[in-house]
Amino acid sequence: MKKLIFTSTILLTGLILAGCAPVKHQITHTETSSKKALHSSSHKKQHKNVAPKIDLRKKYKGFKLTTVPSQYRGIWYRADPYSKKATKLVITTHTFNDYVTYRKTDPNLKLDHNSEKQNKEYAGNAVMISTDNGGLKERNFLDTVDMVYKLGQFKGNDCLFMSYGTNPNAVNGVAFKDKNVALKYRKYDFSKVKQ
């Protein structure tokens, strides 16, 4: 379900950034789960964000724990035109927004997002990453499309240019090191940026 929500969010974001759909959206890599709790005194529904449990020792067939290159690590911020708040993208040595990073070690492993068995086997808070053509590629094990992050500068500010789909040079969004800069450019059309 998390994978479906994440993929849908990315696809909707692309449509919105391209000006095709005026829908409120928010790009986040991690879709945190919500628990509904009934408050005893007010009986109102409340949502509690629960961070996924990070297990660096978990093994997946055909994958091995890997390290995120240091230049991508840190806290990045992304804002969209329909929100006045910036969302965080937290990248650490072995995590990508609370998802543990792995690399594919078995080139013969065929992954099928329609496979019920593989959906059970590869369930969890894990993503595979690779570095290629000056970018960091990231996706869930069974996803078919990579999210590509490229380091860069936008108007003198350090940033990560983000793209997805078949054209890794298209810019579908930008994350900045500075939260205020992300908010400043939240309405900017980054699809016009050439890398």
- Residue-wise pLDDT for 143-192, tens only, equals 989 999 999 999 999 999 999 877 777 898 999 999 999 999 999 999 88
pTM of the predicted protein model: 0.71
Is the pLDDT at 45 greater than 90, yes or no?
A: no
Is the pLDDT at 40 greater than 70, yes or no?
A: no
- Alpha-carbon distance of 75 to 49, in angstroms, equals 19
Mean pLDDT, the chain, rounded, equals 79
**pLDDT the model gives residue 121:** 95
In a domain, 153, yes or no: yes
In a domain, 146, yes or no: yes
In a domain, 2, yes or no: no
In a domain, 82, yes or no: yes
Confidence of residue 33 (pLDDT cuts 50, 70, 90): very low
Is the pLDDT at 30 greater than 50, yes or no?
A: no
In a domain, 97, yes or no: yes
In a domain, 12, yes or no: no
In a domain, 139, yes or no: yes
In a domain, 188, yes or no: yes
Question: How many structural domains is the chain composed of?
Answer: 1
Domain span including residue 96? 63-195
